Amino acid sequence: MNPNDFDSVHLKVTMTNNTTRTQIKEGVLYFGGTRSTEKHHQGLELKVLELEEAAMLLDIPSKLCAIGHNLTVQIETLNHQPKIVLTTSTKVEKITPSEGKQTEQILVKLVQFDEQAWESLKELFWSSGSDR
C-alpha cells in the first residue's frame, strides 16, 4: 500500500496512551487530561501510513509510547461520505525511528474495535489503488 493513497482522504487522528495517560488531540499533547503549554508540544501530527488485516502503521511524534503500551486510536474521515469513525484499543508491537525526523513509526495490533468501521476504513483505502 502506498502512503500517498491517504493524501486525498482527510483524516482526524487522535491517540491516547492509556499506559502513560498522555494524549495527542488536535495537534496538542495532553498529560493526564491537562493541555501542555510547551511550544514543542503544539502542532503535532499523527499519520496513518498503512492498514493491515488487524494492525496499523502510524507515524507519531517520538517518545510517546513503548512496545507493549496500550493505546486508544480514533480515526475519523473528514471529507468522505458516509463518514467513518473508528475507535480502537491497540497494543504497540514495534517501534522504528524515522530517519531525519522527530517522529517514529509504530505498528499497533488492534485488540478491540468495531469490525464494521474497520472494514469500511480498509475498503476505502484498499479500493483506492494508486490514483489517490
Q: Which residues neighbour 85 within 8 Å (Cβ) at sequence distance 6 or greater? A: 74, 75, 76, 77, 117
pLDDT of residue 49: 92
In order of their start, the domains of the chain are 3-127 (2.40.10.220)
pLDDT along the chain (132 residues), means of 10: 57 95 94 88 90 95 96 93 94 93 95 96 71 28
Q: Which residues neighbour 15 within 8 Å (Cβ) at sequence distance 6 or greater? A: 23, 24, 46, 58, 60, 64, 71, 72, 73, 74
pLDDT of residue 99: 84
Is there a cis peptide before residue 61, judged by omega within 30 degrees of 0? no
Q: For residue 78, how far is the Cα from the chain centroid? A: 15
pLDDT of residue 128: 58
pLDDT of residue 5: 47
- pTM recorded for the entire structure: 0.86
pLDDT of residue 7: 52
pLDDT of residue 77: 92
* Count of CA atoms in the C-beta half-sphere (13 A) of 99: 0
pLDDT of residue 130: 27
The grid coordinates of residue 52 equal: 493491515
CB 57 within 8 A of CB 107: yes
3-class SS of residue 82: coil
